[in-house]
């Protein structure tokens, strides 16, 4: 069973690339994106206030509008029950700002249960979070990178092979110190010993 999950949300969306064997979930209005892109969802969840009608099918899970969590949180719940550990989330940035913020909280949630999640914006922006780990990035990446502490402090932050490097420093959650870094053609490494870092770049 695939441990990878692709979630399509209702926000702005660019090119969708679903990895082979990934379990595809449409969260509400994400179904319109899937139909347009010719992507076949394995599961469809939501209150369907964005999509406008409740779709038919055995793979549809309908929730009330007045529910506790957003459709993207519900989609992740289903995927976690299924054992998924790696998440690519389209359409979760650049729409209503409360949904964008909820999706940043969602990245924290995924970290805290040992999973990896990446939000993909319509313009290629990617946002991920890492928790007590080191992530390596392809040397083919170009452009700017931002690194932010999502915990009050992030200790043991190490940044290698980016324009500005750091070795075992502490970042807090009320500084812009990690903004406006840049890839420079080498395999970049960003790591944290104790804390959650949010990392944003473009692909």
Residues of the shown chain interacting with its own copies in the complex, contacts defined by CB under 8 A: 66, 68-70, 72-73, 93, 96-99, 101-102, 105-106, 108-109, 112, 121, 125, 127, 144-146, 148, 150-152, 164, 173-177, 179-180, 198, 200
Least spacing, CB of residue 152 vs its own copies, in Å: 7
> Nearest approach, Cβ of 98 to its own copies (angstroms)?
3
Residue 62 or 101: the one with the smaller Cβ distance to its own copies is 101
Smaller CB separation from its own copies, 17 or 112: 112
**Nearest distance in Å: CB 157, its own copies:** 14
What residues form DSSP beta bridges with 166?
Answer: 159
Give the span between the Cα atoms of 164 and 168, in whole angstroms: 13
What CA–CA distance (Å, rounded) separates 114 from 137? 19
Rounded-to-integer distance, Cα 189 and Cα 184, Å = 12
Q: Which of 40/49 has CB closer to its own copies?
A: 49
Q: How far is the CB of 173 from its own copies (least distance, A)?
A: 6
**Buried b / exposed e across 76-115, counting CB within 10 Å, b at 16+?**
bebbbeeebbbbbbbbbbbbeeebbebbbebbebbbeeeb
Burial (Cβ within 10 Å: 0-12, 13-18, ≥19) of residue 64: exposed
Nearer to its own copies, 41 or 121 (CB): 121
Q: Of 40 and 164, which CB lies nearer to its own copies in the complex structure?
A: 164
CB of residue 32 vs its own copies: minimum separation in angstroms? 19
Would you state the structure tokens that stand for residue 117, as one six-digit string?
A: 């999640």
Rounded to an integer, what distance in angstroms lies between the CA atom of residue 89 and that of residue 10? 11
């Amino acid at each position: 069973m695939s441990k990878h999950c692709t979630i399509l949300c209702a926000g702005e969306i660019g090119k969708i690339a679903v990895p082979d064997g990934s379990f595809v979930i449409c969260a509400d209005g994400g179904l319109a994106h899937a139909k347009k892109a010719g992507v076949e969802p394995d599961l469809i969840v939501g209150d369907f206030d964005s999509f406008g009608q409740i779709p038919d099918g055995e793979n549809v899970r309908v929730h009330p509008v007045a529910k506790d969590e957003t459709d993207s949180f519900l989609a992740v719940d289903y995927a976690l029950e299924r054992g998924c550990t790696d998440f690519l989330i389209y359409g979760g940035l650049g729409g209503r700002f409360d949904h964008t913020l909820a999706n940043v909280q969602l990245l924290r949630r995924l970290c805290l249960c040992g999973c990896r999640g990446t939000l993909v914006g319509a313009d290629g922006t990617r946002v991920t979070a890492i928790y007590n780990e080191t992530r390596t990035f392809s040397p083919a990446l170009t452009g700017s990178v931002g690194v932010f502490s999502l915990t009050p402090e992030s200790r043991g932050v190490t940044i290698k092979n980016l324009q500005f490097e750091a070795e075992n420093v502490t970042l807090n959650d009320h500084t812009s110190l990690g903004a406006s870094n840049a890839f420079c053609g080498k395999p970049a490494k960003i790591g944290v010993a104790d804390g959650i870092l949010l990392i944003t770049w473009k692909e």
